[in-house]
Copies of this chain bind each other. A is one copy, B any other.
């Protein structure tokens, strides 16, 4: 593999997941970090020739007035999740990346996210098209300044409230003119970032439950520009377990009567999800896989609540009530105590490498073989984690 510089553009670049991913990336580039949590470092993916950690350069968009170092430090002080040393040893790198971060867009992100944004970000008045143009200029400047061979854009911004895009046309050629009409254009920020990236031919990864590149016309854009995209909503904790345990019940013909999942955590993401409109997007993403795996719909309940003292420690309690032989009810309960950003960050780095590889190999459209990374995988209804992972291995074999 010829060495090439890979740009990575993070939307929500100073958030918990982004700052953790950046701290980890710096650790990897310095050779100081183990590979725990990194799927792409498993031996079975060696043959892919994934890009080297050292070749990655970070930039991004952000709407808040903070610094990367301060945000990263919250993982130490508020969450007791990582050792202080990890942050302190990469102050220079964080400062350098901070300089690569530009103001994002707040279009249709809802009141809660608005309230967290900087005053200047809130004051911007621009049509969707103007916003896209501005974001694209940021990408072009980054490519030029850092002399990049390739760029991958990743959405890590807070979950947006649901939007109704049902009125939009299905083809890119018809959607494009709508972008100049703020009244008709229902798209929210995550979709504008997707368009900004893919219109320029760069792959787009949507790690959040927001709409992003889901609208049919944006999928069409990806194909038109011969680029690729994937998403939605990184599968990090409770839903990962659902996608592993539900197939077990199905294969043993154990009838799940009810599946209750209560999630509590206290990071910024939690604060945003405390707004019922933002939460609605998330809960739906965590819940619908069960019906698809079982072929019937057990009673389900998912809550996500903000408990400040937990910081980044997402604690989930799930109670699964099922009926076995002779109709007897039985119970499985689990408690998951995972650090949300530390579970998400390596998956973000993995997705960047796999997507960059796919793009390099000329793949276009939705990368369905990355379904195992997502709660609501695009382009497939397969939710069984084991089968999702097999499809990643199968794709890998093409490079054998």
Chain A 282-299, CB-CB to B under 8 Å as 1, else 0, gives 000000000000000001
A80-B80, A386-B387 given; A36·B337 CB < 8 A: no
On whether the beta carbons of B307 and A328 are closer than 8 Å, the reply is: no
Q: Lowest 5 CB-CB distances: which A-B pairs, in order? A: A386-B386, A37-B325, A257-B309, A334-B334, A37-B324
User: Which A residues from 236 to 259 make CB contacts under 8 A with B?
Assistant: 240-241, 244-245, 247-248, 251-255, 257-258
Q: Which chain B residues border A328 with CB–CB below 8 Å?
A: 81-82, 339, 342
Chain A 277-320, CB-CB to B under 8 Å as 1, else 0, gives 00000000000000000000001010101011110000101010
16 more A-B contacts (CB under 8 A) besides A251-B385, A301-B305, A324-B339? Answer: A24-B325, A33-B326, A37-B324, A39-B251, A83-B327, A84-B84, A86-B326, A240-B248, A303-B303, A325-B342, A325-B346, A331-B336, A331-B338, A333-B337, A335-B335, A386-B387
On whether the beta carbons of A36 and B387 are closer than 8 Å, the reply is: no
Q: Which chain B residues border A244 with CB–CB below 8 Å?
A: 244-245, 247-248
On whether the beta carbons of B332 and A42 are closer than 8 Å, the reply is: no
Q: Which chain B residues border A309 with CB–CB below 8 Å?
A: 257-258, 299, 321, 329
Chain A 357-394, CB-CB to B under 8 Å as 1, else 0, gives 00000000000000010000000000011110100000
A39-B253, A260-B264, A305-B301 given; A329·B387 CB < 8 A: no
On whether the beta carbons of A247 and B324 are closer than 8 Å, the reply is: no
11 contacts between A and B (CB under 8 A): A23-B326, A27-B326, A33-B326, A39-B251, A244-B245, A260-B307, A299-B308, A315-B319, A317-B317, A330-B339, A332-B336
Q: Which chain B residues border A334 with CB–CB below 8 Å?
A: 332-335
Bound form: Cα–Cα A258–B339 in Å? 18
Pick from B86, B321, B337: contact of A310, CB below 8 A.
Answer: B321
Bound form: Cα–Cα A280–B107 in Å? 36
Pick from B37, B80, B326: contact of A342, CB below 8 A.
Answer: B326
Pick from B80, B84, B254, B260: contact of A329, CB below 8 A.
Answer: B80
Q: Does A109 contact B (CB under 8 A)?
A: no
Which residues of A approach B to under 8 Å, CB–CB?
A: 20, 23-24, 27, 33-39, 41-42, 80-84, 86, 240-241, 244-245, 247-248, 251-255, 257-258, 260, 262, 264, 299, 301, 303, 305, 307-310, 315, 317, 319, 321, 323-339, 342-343, 345-346, 372, 384-387, 389
Q: Which chain B residues border A33 with CB–CB below 8 Å?
A: 326-327
On whether the beta carbons of A36 and B255 are closer than 8 Å, the reply is: yes
